[in-house]
Amino acid sequence: MSFITLVRHGQANSGARDEEGYDKLSDLGWQQARWLGAYFAQAGDRFARVYSGTLRRHVETAAGIGFDAPEQDPRLNEMTYFTLASLLEEQHGIAMPTDRETFIPHIPVLLQHWQADRIEGAPERFSEFEARVTDVLREIAAGDGRALVVTSGGLIGMAMRVIMRLDIGALAHAMLSIENSSLHRVQPLQTGLALTQFNAIPHLDTPERQHARSHL
């Protein structure tokens, strides 16, 4: 049976404050990816097709898993969160978060402003982000054989919105819950795409690896 497995990249440079600075795996991120690759090998998981975004953290995560040459597609790239957050602060006085505790209430506010086109100069509109995620999911789902897709949490959250018809509040909660290197499985049906697995971390779900779980 053909399905898509979405993987969020390993932990990136979580102390960064801009897109470029964030876009590289930490040592922990590399380890998460290697453990995931070992899990796939042990479980006998095989993929006929491997895709990633064009961002460095996507390509590095794919390499850590064991795929050095994924098919790179810019439609699988993350929303430009840091740019949007900076514009939101400049235009509406809503401060950019400095840690996970302040990030949690910030993301739904940012998404609400972005969806309503209240962030001037955004690199892309919310509707454009939603459209490219919808398009690339449908295209990959139409291909032959099981597909692995290495991407980002925001894109996976938007995929959940597309598949589950989530409102903005539920979309924000989905994004916030997605862990680094987590697995999300999508099955194509005659009636559309169905979610069969969300936020699984079998390669980290042991007592000795609890310390290696991360969100940012």
pLDDT tier at 100, thresholds 50, 70, 90: confident
What CATH number should be reported for the domain holding residue 93?
Answer: 3.40.50.1240
For residue 205, with 0-12 CB atoms within 10 Å meaning exposed, 13-18 middle and 19 or more buried, which class applies? Answer: exposed
Per DSSP, the three-state class of 186 is: strand
The enclosing H or E element of 107 equals helix 100-115
Mean pLDDT of 10-21: 88
What percentage of residues in the chain have a pLDDT greater than 90? 90
Q: What pLDDT, in 10s, does the model give residues 118-146?
A: 999 999 999 999 999 999 999 999 999 99
Helix 153-164 with 168-177: angle, nearest 10 deg: 140
- Tabulate helix, strand, coil % of the chain (nearest 5): 50, 15, 35
The answer as to whether 212 is a domain residue is: no
Instruction: Supply the Cα-derived Rg of the chain in whole angstroms.
Output: 17
Residue 83 contacts by C-beta under 8 Å, 6 or more apart in sequence?
18, 19, 122, 123
CA–CA separation, 206 and 99 (whole Å): 26
The answer as to whether 214 is a domain residue is: no
Single pTM value for the model: 0.95
pLDDT above 70 for 1: no
pLDDT for 14 equals 80
Q: What pLDDT, in 10s, does the model give residues 44-75?
A: 999 999 999 999 999 999 999 999 999 999 99
Count up the domains in the chain and report the number. Answer: 1
Q: Are 65 and 156 in contact (CB under 8 A)?
A: no
pLDDT for 15 equals 79
The answer as to whether 213 is a domain residue is: no
The answer as to whether 216 is a domain residue is: no
Per DSSP, the three-state class of 116 is: coil
For residue 178, what are the domain limits?
Answer: 4-207
Please state, rounded to an integer, the average pLDDT across all residues of the chain: 95
pLDDT for 90 equals 97
pLDDT for 2 equals 75
Q: Are 163 and 194 in contact (CB under 8 A)?
A: yes
Residue of 196, 56, 49 whose CA lies nearest to 136: 49
Residue of 82, 89, 79, 149 whose CA lies nearest to 115: 79
Q: Are 76 and 135 in contact (CB under 8 A)?
A: no
pLDDT for 18 equals 86
What percentage of residues in the chain have a pLDDT greater than 70? 100
